[in-house]
Every structure is written in C-alpha cells, then in structure tokens.
Amino acid sequence: MNRIEFIQEMTVQEKLVRTEFRLSQDQMASVLGISKKTLVESEAGRRLLSWTECVALASIFSQSTVLQNAFGGEMSDMIRAIAFNDVRVTYPATMGGRVWWRLIEDHNGYRIQQNILSQHYRLLDPYDGRMLSSYDLEEIHRYMRQLALL
C-alpha cells in the first residue's frame, strides 16, 4: 500500500468510523479539525482526505473496529511504513508480532514479519525492536544485506 492507496481507503472508511462512533458530520469535522463542507465533500466522493487528515483520523480513532478490521490492527506501524518510505529511523521495541503478524523469514533472530491485513512488512531484531517497515520485501532484504544479516 502506498500513500495514495492509503488515502483512498481512509476516505472510504471515514464515514464508517463516524457512524461507528455515532458522530454527526458537524462533530466529526470538529474532531478532525476540518470544515463540515470538506467532510461532506469527502463523504460524497468529491474529494479525498489529505494525508494529514488521514493520519489524524487514524490517530484519533485508533481504537476503531472499522479501521482495525480494514487495516489489520493498530495502524501506527503502517502509517510509519508509508511516511518513512525511503527514510531510515530508529523504532522502539514491539510486542513481537503476537497479533496481526505472520513470520516470513527468520535469520538468526532477525525476523521479517508481514501484517496479515495491510500486507506491509517489518524487520524485527532479536529483542523485538522494529528496524524497518516497508511494503517492499526487497527493500527489507537490501537493508539486511547492507547490515550483513543475509
């Protein structure tokens, strides 16, 4: 999933989230920090939410069942994978992939996992620290080769 695909899907999910939380359009617009007109245009399919609006929606409604089912659990990992595409960052430790993740490869404790719904990948170190997130498995492999992990 790339940024455009994420924005398109979040635009579709916004109204479902609003309904899930039983918010009016006025309330949802206020929560997201946008005008009601902007919200109505998005819900009617006349405009896409912006990247910032999508990140706000995902953050504010991180406990949404609608979003968790659409994207495979907690969305911050996926948002980081999209946002940090081509940017290297140091991530804090994860829970090791007990939920929403399947093991793709294990190389001496360094694990490549894939989210079962969003399909993005992440590389974990032996201590469950996230080293890299990406939608491109080959990018993960290149990174591992650079570090001589493969």
| Whole-angstrom distance, CA of residue 97 vs CA of residue 3 | 23
- The pTM of the full predicted model, rounded to 2 decimals, is 0.64
Burial string for 53-81 (b: 16+ CB within 10 Å, else e) reads: bbbbbbeebeebebbbebbbbbbebbbbb
Nearest C-alpha neighbor of 101 from the set 62, 80, 130? 130
3-class secondary structure per residue, 40-71: HHHHCCCCCCCHHHHHHHHHHCCCCHHHHHHH
The backbone torsions φ and ψ at residue 45, rounded to the nearest 5 degrees and listed phi first, read 80, 15
Report pLDDT for 91: 66
Report pLDDT for 102: 94
Report pLDDT for 56: 96
Q: What is the pLDDT along the chain (150 residues), one digit of tens a residue?
A: 889 999 999 999 999 999 999 999 999 999 999 999 999 999 999 999 999 999 999 999 988 999 999 988 778 878 888 888 877 777 667 877 778 999 999 999 999 999 998 899 999 999 898 888 899 999 999 999 988 887
The CATH H-level (homologous superfamily) assignment of domain 3-71 is lambda repressor-like DNA-binding domains (1.10.260.40)
